Amino acid sequence: MDMHRRVPRNIHPEKVQLNNWKDTVKRVWNYLDARKIKLFIVFLLTIVTTAVTIVGNRINGLVIDDYISKNQLHALLVICSIMAVMYVVSSFFTYFQNSIIIKVAQDTSARIRHDVFTNLQRLPMKYFDTHDNGDVMSRLTNDVDNINTALMQTFVQLFTGIISVIGMGMAMLILSPLLTGITLLSSVATYFFSKAISKITQKAFMTQQRDLGSLNTQIEESVSGKQLVQLFDHTESTMSEFDRTNGEYTKAAFKAQSLSSIIGPFNNMTNNVAYLLITMAGAISILSGSKAITVGTIFTFLIYLRNFTGPINNVLNLINTLQLSLASAERVFELIDEEPEQDNSDAVAVKQTAGNVQFDHVTFAYDKKTILKDINLTAKQGEVVALVGPTGAGKTTIMNLLTNLYPLKKGRVLLDGRDVTAIHMYDLRRLVTVVQQESFLFTMSIRENIRLGRPSATDNEVEEAAKQANADTFINQLPDGYDTILTENARSLSQGQRQLLSIARAFVTGAPVLVLDEATASIDSNTEADVQLAMTALMRNKTSFVIAHRLSTIQRADQILVINDGKIIEQGTHQSLLAKHGFYSELYNSQFDITN
């Protein structure tokens, strides 16, 4: 038995176009546009530091030709003192320049992270059904961090490098057109080689990030299901599966980074060849008696060349960071571009409802598989409607359609005669409260967890809701009472206590329509009595839908709908359905026989 849910690798093909890196860079730049004043300051500081470097290097050459050879020690000391001051000032400017870039990178990453998380909250449930949690988390954390790293490291090198290359190139051309021509030959060779390698590595880095998402998914599942893995003795198989996934990621990462690492050594080789050719050309010119090139000129030009190729080398040596950040940015923007859940154009605000619910010839298909087939049901104000049937029959799907979590294929779901798709989703989900089988509690105080049902609820209303849910007693027994901070989905509480808090949350909401989705299925019999009392109080004066696992809990329902294979096959009260000796009767009697 495989203890983990496995999603086929190609269940949802990547939409990212690997050759669309220009648009990706443009989108990142659009985020930077909001920081254009700071970037302009960096631009000015870079011009100053580049100018200081150019002037300083030229002075070095003049010192060799005019001071050292003529033994002018005093003038040499003066010049060196001036240059020292220039370099100190330049260092301060460089520090401020880097500080601004780091601030810009952090702010930009924060904005991207905000946009990703915001859109994530608005995506329809279908997206989360078809995407691994680990991959989604990887995009929000690892991929955004990769963008941040690129902005802090590569952007500094790229932004300042362009100015440095232009400034140094002009200085080199003025100093010696001949030696500049030799430099350009090596630069052209490096450019075309890097461009060819980049086309290969871009796809490799995308594969690396995809495999990292798969690895994160497995880690997340293994940690969440640790107890289950140990209980069913799947430790060895889990480690084996992890080693396989980890091996795939390692292989992809090695391929991507080893390919990109070729660029650095090749560039260093071409630079060394350029140094050799420049030295040879300068030496030949001097030995031939030419006055156009001096020893100081060669010295200055070699320093210029180092400052000219240095930024290029830095960027090329960081090519893996660039490729990785581009792949990450494409994955991040793909998530930002996912179509969010939206109200229909004709949707209106509805603040109150009597609670009359109707399903009118509802048919629903999920990934081409039909789940519900021509469902018709009516629940009048204040009625209790129970839905029973085998696992996978479509009971929970019916309730998901009531809250408009999924789009219908055919038919209508009506609330007081109004199609739920014509109601603002925010209002609809305030009018319909759902208590699920597995209660989820956030890392916050008990008080705030209950208040999630209605953020404007006062402390007194929260405590009153807890009393109605029979949760007040155990809450007050905790060290900090209502201010107790819950962590790891409140694992310190029993399942029954967590469910009572969920019911208290529903009490605070005060919605006129209530859905209890097998709310007692995971609760022990001792706690069930408290939960049943709380549920009975919660259902009072509400239109309630109860998805039942234990049929003994729904005997007093106004009507019971028996669902099987996506259809309503029986409908009636508990007694009338037993009298039919049909599907419901068999279900009920089988549970009665087992429990007795």
Examine the pLDDT at 337 and tell me if it is beyond 80.
yes
In the structure, what pLDDT confidence band is assigned to residue 221 with cuts at 50, 70 and 90?
A: low
Domains located in the chain, CATH noted: 28-336 (1.20.1560.10), 357-439+511-595 (3.40.50.300)
Report the alpha-carbon distance of residue 449 to residue 541 in Å, rounded. 24
Residue 335 is predicted with a pLDDT of 87
In the structure, what pLDDT confidence band is assigned to residue 15 with cuts at 50, 70 and 90?
A: very low
Shortest CA distance to 572 belongs to which of 388, 359, 391?
388
Cβ contacts of residue 203 below 8 Å, gap of 6+? 18
Residue 458 is predicted with a pLDDT of 92
Examine the pLDDT at 18 and tell me if it is beyond 60.
no
Residue 513 is predicted with a pLDDT of 92
pLDDT digits (tens, 9 = 90+) for 473-493: 889 998 899 999 887 666 778
Examine the pLDDT at 122 and tell me if it is beyond 70.
yes
Residue 13 is predicted with a pLDDT of 33
Residue 140 is predicted with a pLDDT of 84
For 376, phi then psi, to 5°, come to -130, 125
Report the alpha-carbon distance of residue 372 to residue 363 in Å, rounded. 5
pLDDT (mean) for 17-45: 79
Cβ contacts of residue 389 below 8 Å, gap of 6+? 395, 562, 563, 564
Q: How far is CA 274 from CA 180, 187, 271, 502, in A?
A: 10, 9, 5, 72
Of 29-43, 229-243, 265-279, 381-395, which gets the smallest average pLDDT? 229-243
In the structure, what pLDDT confidence band is assigned to residue 96 with cuts at 50, 70 and 90?
A: confident
Q: How far is CA 160 from CA 177, 183, 452, in A?
A: 24, 20, 49
Residue 6 is predicted with a pLDDT of 35
Average pLDDT along the chain: 79
Shortest CA distance to 164 belongs to which of 90, 236, 222?
90
Tell me the β-bridge partners of 435. 516
Within its chain, how far is the Cα of 462 from the centroid?
33
DSSP letter at 217 equals H
pLDDT digits (tens, 9 = 90+) for 505-526: 888 888 899 888 876 655 656 6
Tell me the percentage of the chain whose pLDDT exceeds 70.
Answer: 85
Examine the pLDDT at 210 and tell me if it is beyond 70.
yes
First to last CA, the chain: 31
pLDDT digits (tens, 9 = 90+) for 414-438: 999 999 999 998 888 889 988 887 7
pLDDT digits (tens, 9 = 90+) for 304-315: 777 777 777 776
pLDDT digits (tens, 9 = 90+) for 278-322: 777 777 777 777 666 777 777 777 777 777 777 777 766 666 677
Contacts 24+ apart (CB under 8 A), 95-100: 96/45, 97/42, 97/45, 97/46, 97/49, 97/156, 97/160, 98/156, 100/38, 100/41, 100/42, 100/45
In the structure, what pLDDT confidence band is assigned to residue 1 with cuts at 50, 70 and 90?
A: very low
Cβ atoms of 563 and 542 closer than 8 Å = no
Residue 68 is predicted with a pLDDT of 63
In the structure, what pLDDT confidence band is assigned to residue 14 with cuts at 50, 70 and 90?
A: very low
Identity of the amino acid at 329: A
Q: How would DSSP label each residue in 417-484?
A: TEEGGGB-HHHHHHHEEEE-SS----SSBHHHHHHTT-TT--HHHHHHHHHHTT-HHHHHTSTTGGGP
Q: In a 3-state reduction of DSSP, which class is residue 103?
A: helix
